A and B are shown apart, each in its own frame.
Chain A
Amino acid sequence: ETGVTQSPTHLIKTRGQQVTLRCSSQSGHNTVSWYQQALGQGPQFIFQYYREEENGRGNFPPRFSGLQFPNYSSELNVNALELDDSALYLCASSLGSGGSYNEQFFGPGTRLTVL
């Protein structure tokens, strides 16, 4: 176990709805990164939060947004859900911002299904 937890484990929503996914980082880590993993594909970087500020973003539309709290836990919010948003959403925590040698520890993921 990596010490990174995510909730909920599974979620079913309908198109157009909004969803909030949560991640608790490993103790002592100040950075959280979010990834979307479609079935049979590698994870795609959504964004990273470092000390409560967005520190980098992948090619995802603005309806994907996030927050990081003072305790370094994080939320991923997705508005106006689309069928293609169905995926495993992974969060990873690390000490220090990325592009560096710092190892990222992944949570078990949240499986989102959009009907």
Chain B
Amino acid sequence: KNQVEQSPQSLIILEGKNCTLQCNYTVSPFSNLRWYKQDTGRGPVSLTIMTFSENTKSNGRYTATLDADTKQSSLHITASQLSDSASYICVVSVIGQGGKLIFGQGTELSVKP
């Protein structure tokens, strides 16, 4: 069964600190892996997209890594800001299934002053 699992489920950090979110997937055949940020009640916004041949991708203070052998990805947030408080969702795209994206359940990040 194609699955995407994220940890931790929720996380509280102080403003200015770094954090790392984890994603494990069992999706096959794998096309690409994406990290999205979703503010409460809003649609997800893409942070990074990586194919199986890419190991790392950065977008400002966000850095995603991918290990296609172990089927693990991480999202590292540097120097967190209050506006980083959101749900961060790991999403895997499946080859040949008409655009099907498989979403993890998300990690709820809360950045406190």
Contact = CB atoms under 8 A, between A and B. Distances in A.
Nearest to A46: B100
10 contacts: A42-B105, A45-B99, A55-B99, A88-B41, A100-B31, A103-B49, A104-B101, A106-B45, A109-B42, A111-B41
A37 to B, nearest CB: 8
Interface string A93-106: 01001111101111
Contact of B43 (A41, A56, A109): A109
Interface string B26-67: 000001101010000111111001010000000000000000
A45 to B, nearest CB: 5
B95 to A, nearest CB: 5
Given A90-B44, A104-B46, A55 B98 contact: yes
Nearest to A107: B43
B96 A99 contact: yes
Given A42-B106, A101-B32, A106 B99 contact: no
Q: Is the interface of B mostly helix, strand, loop or mixed?
A: strand
B11 interface: no
Size band of the A side of the interface? 20 to 34
A76 interface: no
A31 B99 contact: yes
A98 B99 CA distance: 3
B90 to A, nearest CB: 9
B99 A50 contact: yes
A103 B32 CA distance: 11
A58 interface: yes
B45 A56 contact: no
